């Protein structure tokens, strides 16, 4: 069990013995993590391993069956804390009949009362995700990748202290993916705590630390280098296979 009183000053996100089931199906089993402030932390695992369920609970959208989650020292769900959290889900929650600018303006009005400041911020985030030329287009004319970029822009509007990004680069071309990761690193350097879920092995190299999840359980946590060394492999993909096989054999390893 993590002692939150000793970690709240340095922890961005603390997860203590969290479990979640839907009916008789266990989605997450005894998850404990301590994610430091001002870092990029990755959750790596295949579809259905529990990544999105865990992120929703961290965001305060759903509650664990048991266990405890804190963000910046406050137990979730906490409304005041949720205002400091930017959450980007896998499925874009956009208004299709409105333009990209109107979507940004609507969501921005929830955080930025000043119209002039909101307009300035809208153009900043639109430029970041390369949508400046498309702001007047209705969402119904957007491709899946464009919707994903707009969702990321909306998430960044309020300049949150904590970013929860559920597979943010799905459907985005490689050049723009690199630009987005560059911006995430800049935000990290400014002290923003960023949690990113992915099933793309090469993206985990962008993370300061990560956790591998499989079938609702932690396989291993640590830096990319430490995980590869622990697995005795040369790539993260090989490391994931290694720890997955250990789990299947009843002897998976957990390192933090």
Domain boundaries, the chain: 8-84+161-171+183-256, 91-159
Q: 197 by DSSP, 3-state: which?
A: strand
List pLDDT tens digits, range 98-118: 999 999 999 999 888 999 999
Identify which has the larger pLDDT, 180 or 207.
Answer: 207
Report angle CA 2, 62, 69 to the nearest 5 degrees.
15
- Please count the other Cβ atoms lying within 10 Å of the Cβ belonging to residue 133: 8
> Which whole number is the average pLDDT over 234-243?
90
Look at residue 256 in the predicted model and tell me its pLDDT: 45
Look at residue 33 in the predicted model and tell me its pLDDT: 95
Look at residue 254 in the predicted model and tell me its pLDDT: 47
Average pLDDT, the chain: 87
Model-level pTM?
Answer: 0.85
Look at residue 111 in the predicted model and tell me its pLDDT: 83
Q: Over the Cα atoms of the chain, what is R_g?
A: 18
CA gap 84, 222 in Å, rounded: 26
Structure confidence at residue 251 as a pLDDT band (50, 70, 90): low
Q: Check: CB of residue 29 under 8 Å from CB of residue 217.
A: yes
- 206-233 as b/e, with b when 16 or more CB fall inside 10 Å? bbbbbbbbbbbbbbbbbebeebbeebeb
> Which whole number is the average pLDDT over 139-155?
89
Considering the segment(s) 8-84+161-171+183-256 as one domain, its CATH architecture is 3-Layer(aba) Sandwich (3.40)
């Amino acid at each position: 069990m993590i002692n939150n009183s000793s970690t709240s000053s340095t922890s961005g996100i603390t997860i203590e013995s969290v479990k979640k089931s839907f009916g008789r199906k266990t989605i997450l089993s005894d998850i404990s993590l301590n994610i430091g402030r001002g870092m990029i932390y990755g959750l790596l695992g295949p579809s259905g391993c529990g990544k999105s369920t865990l992120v929703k609970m961290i965001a305060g959208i759903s509650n664990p069956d048991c266990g405890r989650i804190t963000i910046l020292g406050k137990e979730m769900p906490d409304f005041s804390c949720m205002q400091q959290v930017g959450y980007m889900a896998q499925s874009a929650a956009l208004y299709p009949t409105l333009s990209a600018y109107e979507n940004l303006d609507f969501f921005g009005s929830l955080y930025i009362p000043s119209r002039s400041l909101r307009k300035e911020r809208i153009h900043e985030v639109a430029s970041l995700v390369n949508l400046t030329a498309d702001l007047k287009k209705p969402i119904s004319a957007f491709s899946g990748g464009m919707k994903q970029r707009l969702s990321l822009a909306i998430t960044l509007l309020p300049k949150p202290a904590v970013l929860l990004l559920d597979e943010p680069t799905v459907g985005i071309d490689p050049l723009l993916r690199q630009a987005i990761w560059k911006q995430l690193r800049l935000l990290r350097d400014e002290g923003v705590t960023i949690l990113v879920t992915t099933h793309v092995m090469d993206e985990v190299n962008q993370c300061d630390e990560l956790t591998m999840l499989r079938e609702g359980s932690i396989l291993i946590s640590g830096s990319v280098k430490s995980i590869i060394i622990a697995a005795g492999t040369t790539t993260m993909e090989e490391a994931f296979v290694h720890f997955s096989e250990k789990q299947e054999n009843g002897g998976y390893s957990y390192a933090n």
